[in-house]
Amino acid sequence: MFDAHKQDAGKASFETFERIESEVRSYARSFPAVFTSAKGSRIFDQSGRSYVDFLSGCSTLNYGHNHPKMKQALVDYLMQDGVAHTMDMYSVAKAQFLEAFDKHILRPRGMDYRLQFPGPTGANAVEAAIKLARKVTGRTNVIAFTNGFHGCTLGALSLTGNGHHRGGAGVELTGVTRMPYDKYFGDGVDTAEQIEKMLEDASGGVDAPAAIILETIQGEGGLNAASAKWLQKIEKIARDNGALLIVDDIQAGCGRSGSFFSFEEMGIKPDIVTMAKSLSGMGLPMALVLLKPELDEWKPGEHNGTFRGNCHAFITARVAIEEFWANDDFEDELKLKAKKIRTRLESFVKTFPDHINRVKGRGVMLGIEVANPEMTSEIVKASFERGLIIETAGPDDEVVKLLTPLNIADEDLEAGLNILGDALQAVYTDASLQAAE
């Protein structure tokens, strides 16, 4: 465990980062502390202060920080001089991951996919997915959705809706048709019907798509959760139009939605699935593309990358699967956790009806949408001051987003929710006093 006294001599100052590191840093601005260690749902800064972590690396740490079994397996592997990097050569670490993924994830769900390891980031997986879809179909256009987030490399960025991120492209972002996500125009408008009509119309102006790519719950886009009905209709539209359905499960996958894949309970069967973030289980970089076997038209090395064999990540990813997904216990636990969090968030809506509109999201991917988006930065700040790390999402940062570790201990969950409640109280009580003045 972290010992503040041992660290004193080497204390880092903000000045170091501000002087040497690029202005591009972002989370550091919301959470001004220098972190040293972390365990489970808690992260510690160099002064020994403990924070409950409701950010979890944007859903990269679904099993918490430094899970003891993953850590032990990695330490053992290192001490045996286990090979760290192999390009895409065969390793025992990779074989064990492949077997575990096949046995505990794919086969019990009746899924038949080939596994492609792209570079280690989510964007790498998305790039590989759309390249493959274009290659297999011989088409260029990809349909992506309003408020979708798929990464910041140019191909992935072309799919991403966020104007702030797109503004950094520096070139034209092409080859994508933007369509409205489920309920983008409110409950009364069936956007799948609109898309269907536009694609059916020979003069609808939409080029035949290679793929339709979507998140079933939009993580960065504000926790918009698509309905099963809408998703099924989009899947049918893809099939009717000869397009592949790609589900980007980088944030909503690995249990965040309440099941391993976010689409499991939605009644759809994507052709391609992208995964990253929590896949390695312990925050090590690792990404994966699942593709239907008949789509595997890659030529050897055609899509390449130096870091496609992160053996350390294979080790921890295998342990994560064996530890959490070998039976249904964890999924049952997630249902209870989701209910607990949702109930508490509903109570915040009731307590602050003028300030908080509603609860958004699905599974253990939940948040609150506030009436005045300018207040969310205040909520984040007030939470941080009280020992909670929590972030915002949505086009105007209007959603306070909870990405708790999925295995968070009840007392940490309570502590974090209590801090959030206190922060809301502080922010909105002050705000209403100001408004009354």
Note the residues at the interface with ligand PLP (CB under 6 A).
58, 121-123, 126, 149-151, 215, 219-220, 248, 250-251, 276-277
CA distances from 176 to 44, 167, 208, 329 (A): 42, 16, 11, 41
| Nearer to ligand PLP among residue 58 and residue 390 (C-beta) | 58
| Nearer to ligand PLP among residue 53 and residue 378 (C-beta) | 53
CB of 428 to ligand PLP, least distance (A): 29
CB of 62 to ligand PLP, least distance (A): 12
Region for residue 234 given its phi and psi (left: phi exceeds 0; alpha: psi -120 to 50; beta: otherwise): alpha
CB of 282 to ligand PLP, least distance (A): 15
| Nearer to ligand PLP among residue 55 and residue 250 (C-beta) | 250
CB of 260 to ligand PLP, least distance (A): 16
CB of 230 to ligand PLP, least distance (A): 18
Region for residue 50 given its phi and psi (left: phi exceeds 0; alpha: psi -120 to 50; beta: otherwise): beta
CB of 244 to ligand PLP, least distance (A): 17
List the one residue out of 187, 394, 184, 155 whose CA is nearest residue 195: 184
CB of 391 to ligand PLP, least distance (A): 12
| Nearer to ligand PLP among residue 196 and residue 220 (C-beta) | 220
CB of 59 to ligand PLP, least distance (A): 7
CB of 305 to ligand PLP, least distance (A): 13
Instruction: Please count the other Cβ atoms lying within 10 Å of the Cβ belonging to residue 1.
Output: 6
Place of tokens 């309440």: 258
| Nearer to ligand PLP among residue 344 and residue 401 (C-beta) | 401
Go through 180-204 and write b for each residue having 16 or more CB atoms within 10 A of its CB, e for each that does not: ebbbeeeeeeebbeebbebbeeeee
| Nearer to ligand PLP among residue 219 and residue 258 (C-beta) | 219
| Nearer to ligand PLP among residue 58 and residue 199 (C-beta) | 58
| Nearer to ligand PLP among residue 149 and residue 230 (C-beta) | 149
| Nearer to ligand PLP among residue 126 and residue 211 (C-beta) | 126
Instruction: Please count the other Cβ atoms lying within 10 Å of the Cβ belonging to residue 214.
Output: 29
| Nearer to ligand PLP among residue 129 and residue 334 (C-beta) | 129
- 329-351 vs 410-436: helix crossing angle, rounded to 10: 20
CB of 277 to ligand PLP, least distance (A): 6
| Nearer to ligand PLP among residue 156 and residue 415 (C-beta) | 156
CB of 95 to ligand PLP, least distance (A): 25
CA 153, CA 422: separation in Å to the nearest integer? Answer: 39
| Nearer to ligand PLP among residue 70 and residue 128 (C-beta) | 128
Place of tokens 């239907």: 292
CB of 329 to ligand PLP, least distance (A): 27
Which residue sits closest to ligand PLP, CB atoms considered? 122
List the one residue out of 35, 39, 7 whose CA is nearest residue 409: 39
